[in-house]
């Protein structure tokens, strides 16, 4: 799949969710000699921000994300895939129509410009009937789902994005409001996206 992505035959997309709390873990900090370091801590009840992200590998690498204060369920996941990954303007509401054509073995009414393979784990939202049950329609419009073996997060490239966003690019460890938490998440993810795009440009120039 990676070879096909590098050749521009299809996009390889790593998809997953992660949560950001008002107070993020502090790996280390500094203080003056003889003075105890004090790290602010905020109440986390009902203030968590969940992020659905997709790292795109291919000739046009990118990082897409959508954040919410609510739960990311199968319906939210399907809508994200249809709109942001498949480019289907009407979203999941028109998925059946877009994939209909004249039968399952013929060309669909609508198809992604370049086919893609979406790599994801076996989280409950990923395997729910409301999402996985649409696998056939998604494949017909150019979005193939590829499920990783159980307990293998190291095979999903977006895990590194989450780690760097939380521990390297997150501006400060404690946020006092949900709005500031959301802004901090967007800032961290934007830095990750810029870094991904810059690496691709540098690689192209070097080649």
Distant-in-sequence, close-in-space partners of 37: CB < 8 Å, separation ≥ 6: 29, 30, 31
Q: What's the token pair of residue 181? A: 């938490």
CA gap 77, 26 in Å, rounded: 30
- What tens digit of pLDDT does each residue of 112-143 get? 989 999 999 999 999 999 999 999 999 999 99
- What tens digit of pLDDT does each residue of 59-95 get? 889 999 999 999 999 999 999 999 999 999 899 999 9
Residue 50 has pLDDT above 70, yes or no: yes
When pLDDT is cut at 50, 70 and 90, the band that residue 203 belongs to is low
Query: Which whole number is the average pLDDT over 95-120?
Result: 80
Residue 101 has pLDDT above 80, yes or no: no
- Conformation bin of residue 185: beta by default, left when phi > 0, alpha when psi is -120 to 50: alpha
Q: What is the pLDDT of residue 145?
A: 98
CATH fold, domain 2-20+45-156, is: Nucleotidyltransferase; domain 5 (3.30.420)
203 vs 178, which has greater pLDDT? 178
Q: What is the pLDDT of residue 58?
A: 84
Q: What is the pLDDT of residue 108?
A: 67
4, exposed or middle or buried, with CB in 10 Å at 0-12, 13-18, 19+? Answer: middle
Residue 58: which of 11, 114, 113 has the closest Cα?
A: 11
Residue 206 has pLDDT above 60, yes or no: no
Q: What is the pLDDT of residue 36?
A: 85
Distant-in-sequence, close-in-space partners of 197: CB < 8 Å, separation ≥ 6: 61, 62
31 vs 120, which has greater pLDDT? 120
| DSSP calls for 66-132 | EEESS---HHHHHHHIIIIIS--TTGGGGHHHHHHTTSTTS--SS--SS-EEEEE---HHHHSHHHH
On the CB side of 33, how many CA atoms lie within 13 Å of its CA? Answer: 0
Helices 158-167 & 178-206 angle (0-180, nearest 10):
120
Determine which of 18-27, 39-48, 83-92, 97-106 has the lowest per-residue pLDDT on average.
97-106
CA gap 9, 2 in Å, rounded: 10
Please state the separation of Cα 116 from the chain's center in Å.
14
Q: Any idea where the domains of the chain sit in the sequence?
A: 2-20+45-156
């Amino acid at each position: 799949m990676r070879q096909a992505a590098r050749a521009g035959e299809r996009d390889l997309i790593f998809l997953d969710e992660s949560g950001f709390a008002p107070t993020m873990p502090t790996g280390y900090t500094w203080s003056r000699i003889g003075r105890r370091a004090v790290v602010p801590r905020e109440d986390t009840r009902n203030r968590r921000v969940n992020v659905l992200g997709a790292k795109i590998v291919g000739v046009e690498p990118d990082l897409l994300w959508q954040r919410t204060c609510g739960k990311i369920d199968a319906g939210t996941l399907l809508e994200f895939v249809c709109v942001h990954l498949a480019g289907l303007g009407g979203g999941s509401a028109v998925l059946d129509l877009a994939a209909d054509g004249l039968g399952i073995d013929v060309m669909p009414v609508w198809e992604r410009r370049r086919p893609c393979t979406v790599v994801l784990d076996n989280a409950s939202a990923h395997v729910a009937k409301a999402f996985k049950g649409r696998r056939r329609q998604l494949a017909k419009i150019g979005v193939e789902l590829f499920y990783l073996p159980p307990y293998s997060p190291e095979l999903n490239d977006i895990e590194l994005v989450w780690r760097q966003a939380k521990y390297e690019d997150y501006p400060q460890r404690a946020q006092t409001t949900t709005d500031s938490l959301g802004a901090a998440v967007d800032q961290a993810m934007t830095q990750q996206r810029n870094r991904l795009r810059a690496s691709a440009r540098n690689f192209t120039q070097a080649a």
